[in-house]
Chains A and B, each alone.
Chain A
Amino acid sequence: MKDKEHVIGKSVKRVDAFEKVTGRAKYTDDICDKSSYTAKILHSTVAHGIVKSIDTKEAERIPGVVKVVTCFDVPKHYFPTAGHPWSTDPEHQDVKDRLLLTDHIRFYGDDVAAVVAENEVAAAQAVRAIKVEYEELSFVLDVQKAMEEDAPLIHEEYPRNILKHTSINSGNYEEARKEEGLIKVEGWYDTPTVQHCHIENFICYSYMEQGRIVVVSSTQIPHICRRIVGQALGIPWGEVRVIKPYIGGGFGNKQDILYEPLCAYLSTVVGGRLVKLDISREETFVSNRVRHAIRTHIISYVRPDGSFAARKMECFSDQGAYASHGHSIAAKGMGAFPQLYPCPNIEADAYTVFTNKSVAGAMRGYGIPQAMFAVESHTDDIALALGIPPYEFRWKYLMPKGYTDGFSKNVNYFDSFHQCLEKGKEHIDYDRKVQEYANQTGEIRKGIGVAAFWYNTGVWPISLETSSCRMVLNQDGSVQVQVAETEIGQGADTAYAQMTAETLGIPFQKVHVVSTQDTDITPFGTGAYASRQTYMAGFAIHQTANLLKSHILDTAQELTRHTKQSLDLIDGNIVRLGDEEILMSLADLAEEKLYSLTNNGHLTAESTYQAKTNAYSFGCTFAEIEVDIPECRITLTNIVNLHDCGKLINPQLAMAQVHGGMSMGIGYGLLEKLLFDEKTGKPLNDNLLDYKLSTFMDHPELKGDFVENYEPTSAYGTKALGEPPVCSVAPAIRNALLQATGVAVDEIPLTPHVLFRRFKEEGLL
């Protein structure tokens, strides 16, 4: 039998690329009818307080203003916003602490009132004309200060502002650290509040149709959105229909329900008319979601050979004003700690704490970039304290092959870390450079650093993992594919088309992935997050394609009178096994079946796959820098990321994901931080000029490479790649700085301001 043509593993071009390079891809604003009303939100100008009164009279008098609603008007249905699968167990449900608009202001930028107007100028004028009287309360911005007894209480039901505290205890830390001859290494590591900065701001519009509410939204999670709009409005979930068109990036911000419920509500108060809520860039920074800033304290007791005797970790995760994704992020970060460098005696505590700042939610990496900055910076600190080269330390003590995590049941099946480290070392000529850059003096110095990470694939066993798929055969032998795992720029639709073509046995061009999700039509599934797309949707696609293939072969049996078992579907043809004779094309089969007067049928398949597995994804970053000491400036001159994400479905698109994640990691390590005024709690740099997203000028060439170990638990041998590339970049840069200058900087971003302070402290300036 001749070798089957494989489309998995080929760098086929994106299925949506043509639309996107011609400007034909329609995003939410592009399809919103011009007749829509425009809504705008009035955000609070205090960080903590109670709204005493609101005067809307002047705003209502502005020509073009249709409706003004305030926090006193909205229904009191508290709802959660996190884009998590729902749980029928109340213990596992997300915290319901949001209202459409609120009179208890918990951060500067909280939502107080909203205006619906005929045009954006009138809406903006009306928002400026609303007068709000606040009773100001004291506020707290620092995560550890928020835990003090006398700190202002942000949510009454959470004493000391602690949303949640969880621990990991294994072995006996207190006993183990008494061992003689141990060396204690201790550090505090700080990561910043950063924002996703997808170029399309959040936008949605809403209208009523046949008594139901329709929301078209730039969201990663349409089915979750349906549920939460229902919860927020207090209506049955089936009365909500959510449609997701092309979206201009999400990175986790749109894995949260942002303003869909408010927009839906505003439509209902203007008679179900079309209302558009187009969020500004400033609002995206302040009033959407941000990445949790986490402060981490690590103590390691190590033996002179580097082996760990006992370790302790505490992390303080800055939740901002509302629970959103909450403790999941800190818990995930903490969970990485005992696994990356296994140690028999561990004590770890994670606290997620409310502060009067912008709300933290999901963002690419979900706690792991924070954890890796702390853990991998600390690893270099240990290596330095022991005089062991940092590369060798990692080689010896990183999670070994065969390691199994008791909770997720993840197994390190292969020698991925060693493979990645070795490959990266060659790419960047590590051994030569690490020697060359040792013991430098002078104003300009170079350095090289390395850091590793691991990442999970999806959310099992913490939450439900399920994906459903529908495939429909057309007259010409082509197939529509629908899943609820959304295309948000990462290339998921293309991967789905490749999987479908591969398993079904039809040409890639014959697969049409329906890119728009519509909760009335798209099979149930939870959306784009947790780097789950190819892994989770892969199961459902694989299963459904086999189901459809089975139906097709049943029809082939009818039409060819050959037994099903002797037939196969290869490259769009019904083929007889053995002599490989093409008996008929799939197109002929489909046409015959759909128009048959005797045995008519519509060939379709639909199925759900509930995944009860997870998979470790691994990798590392090597970074090379040049430090200009007088200018307190780091220039990243060379960087390479290595990944084992299993089998690559589409190598070119996989590499593109790596580039994007590295870019975000570079910004995290060197440039980005959302700042808040200490005196008022007001965000200071809520725009793309003052918030330093990296530009074309801020990157060296981005290099990546892969180790392809076929993931045994996966339908297509693949596992997480969407988020992993961001995880180890910042600590690799930090460790390069340590090598170049001997200065350990334990906070990111490594801006000139931070370097100025640290270089002065260390006598370099």
Chain B
Amino acid sequence: MKARWLVMSATGAVVALSSFSLLGGFGEKVDFNTQVKPILNKSCITCHGGVKKASNFSLLFKEEAFAPAKSGHPAIVPGDADKSELIRRLTATDPDERMPLDGPPMKPEDIETLRKWIDQGAEWGDHWAYQTPETPSVPSVGTIWSRMGLTNHPETDWSTNEIDRFVIAKLHTTEAPGGGTLMPATIADKATLLRRVSLDLTGLPPTEAEASAFLHDASPRAYEKLVDRLLASPAFGEKWAGMWLDLARYADTKGYERDPGRSIWRYRDYLIKAFNSDKPYDQFLTEQLAGDLMPQATDEQFIATGFHRNTMNNDEGGTQDEEFRVASVIDRVNTTWDVFQGTTFGCVQCHSHPYDPFRHDEYYKYMAFFNNARDEDVTTDTPTLRFYKGADSAKLVQLRSFVQKTCPDRSRANAEARRVELLARTMEPKINSHDFDQHQNAALLDAKFFGIMDKGTARLKNVTLTGRTRLYLAWGTSAPDAQLTFRLDNPAGRVLATAMAPKTGNQWKDSVQVISLPNVAGRHTLFLSLNSPTKPKDWVMIKWVSFQPALAPQAEATLLSLLNTHPEQTPIMLDGQGDLARKTHVFTRGSWLTPGKEVQPDVPHSLPPMDVDGQKLPRNRLGLAQWMTRPDHPLTARVAVNRFWEQLFGTGLVETVEDMGTQGIQPTHRELLDWLATTFVQEDGWKMKALLKRIVLSSTYRQRSDVTKQLVREDPYNHYFARGPRVRLAAEQVRDQALVVSGLLSRKMYGPSVMPMQPDGIWQSPYSGESWVLAKGEDAHRRALYTYWKRTAPYPSMITFDSPSREFCQIRRLRTNTPLQALVTLNDPVYVEAAQRLADYMAIHGKTPAQQLQAGFHRLMLRELAPKKLAILTKLYQDTEVYYAQNPAEAGKLLASATASPKQAALTVTANAMMNLDEVITKD
């Protein structure tokens, strides 16, 4: 049963009624979701829920709640509270019987609610967020006459679009602060709005040209034109990619103890391009989750799958690859839920969800979608997409067309060409050598790759050989005359092949070779043995093997030459087929070492099924993405619009952006959320720019953000939007703004991450020879999102301003306000340099100190400095100038210049002060 809001608009007042309150007779009908479920969650479900089922009684799922408990009788008898054991136990006087056991008794009014609910039939309800949203009707505001344009009414005049009408309607409800007396604020002035919307849409303050264009545009559409320009700006994609990097847990290192580098910046560039090209959100989601599975996947779609290759990889010696492979898969499941479904799914790993309707085995069914990925925590971070350049790139084109043309089976020509191309581009499918077992005189060297010495043997299980007469082998050694033999089915079995290990200098260097195999049908176990008489103690290392069909000799040679190059690469997702397909099991109590029953890929039952109306979706990541982006999916669009709202207003419509479930904070404006979500899908076709434009054009967004005492008292956190957003800038914005106003910012886009100025001693990873190499030229002043991100030692000023360390997905940044932030913007050399350059600007944009200060402030805030504030800064300037005139050497130090003038030093100090003003580091 669902609560619905009936909106009565005749007087502009909106009265919320739940539909069943019209039933009468019983008095108020108790609502399960809003009244009963919170009581159960608070008092009962710890022992009778997803984790524990004391006395075999659980309140998590409907069928469990009404099923007979250990006593043989159901605890709840719908329609009869007096006969319900649940009520008897809650009111029992014997402390051994009374629930909650060992806790304080439940409040009488809560018991009364439960009693009433049972008497009214104990109707179970599903949480709203798991029900497909319907488009709510938009409330009317003002009077019927004002809506027809016949008279004026302040609310009709104020509201620009539907968002505003939802907001006004909610402000008028009795549940709103002040009992419905609050009024929305007036629209902010142009300069404030310009800075606000520029920072919000592009992450940067406007350029002077942009400011001038907007401030001098008197047309009624000036603001909309500005919004269109900002949405079209390349900086737009950088800003929103920056947001997405937290969600994708993007970093330039692999994490854990050694935390070595990883080259995955192409994924970051994909995000920038995706936002800038206004890629529809459904496609954006699908490419990131399943780009590799899309038909004829493009490079861009492969790169997009880097989303889930940002999981950590443990290169520490002694760690088991399988353990960390599983950890990555689990992280992918949890992150997919966190980011796209706004649901904390992680706890289902060990047991059914304690509060939300997800069962333990559903976690593993869902995990099965991700469990086939070929990455296995190997130190090379494979699979990767390889980017051949120049002649190699031409070779690949030739190879592809040669295979296509010469394929004897014409119906398979395209598929065969694609197979060979993918082999060259991704080196997949291959078997990683950590899969070899039964080591004798052999070992996993540094727990990474298989090594074997003279007289060594090992086993490789279950390889399909039918039609595969070529063995590709990446290996190397320092030993001469090391001969490897492959035998079939047993250690003394038929010799399948022998080959001399390539002398690569040392075993860690590999060379890819191809060995011919005889025609063997079926699936077999192979046994390896090594004969290395000259240097018996030298290791031969094998990194991977791959069994492939034969190609024409010239094609094989070309392929081999490509595989032996070392082009740039980026990690991608790729699924294993055949021998490489994995089975998925439930992990008993969440541990990968205790597998339970096998499961098939599927989605939780409390959400719409994957197959509807005879349409079957494939049970892989692509099918999963198609399911998530189907219009009837209750979560995907809601979660997306809530996130964008949160980015613009500082707080989501559901404040817990990470959790829309029963444990999340319930939305203040659920109708608005649903309206935005359904409009986003149905009208905007998932276009993010359209959604953002709708929100920033609303009067709700454009309100003044300064507050009255009444507002602070009644709605301290602005949950009802009777004022505009006023929040501290995000870490990236603090830095980027300083670089923009000082003229230092490089607009260079894309490419490997850069290392701007950073204090010594920040990087302290053990066993890592990597160091911070200061960027040269314009790379020292790129936008913050291009800063090299080391997980165990992130860029300090970013962390100080609340960036997460990106080990795991972080849905929401909490905003803190600390003295350490002050020290960054006061003293960090990055900000001192910015102050010097802003001072240069001030010097040439004014004659008197007052003019210069105004120029600097205008550059920052696009408006005049109020006289009182100007007086304070002028005094600072004058006092400082006197000091530097008396101490010219100090001025020289401050400006790092022998010819520094006291004026310039004083301007620098004043600029430094201005860049620390609350209004400057705040979006208001």
Whether A and B are associated in the same complex: the answer reads: no
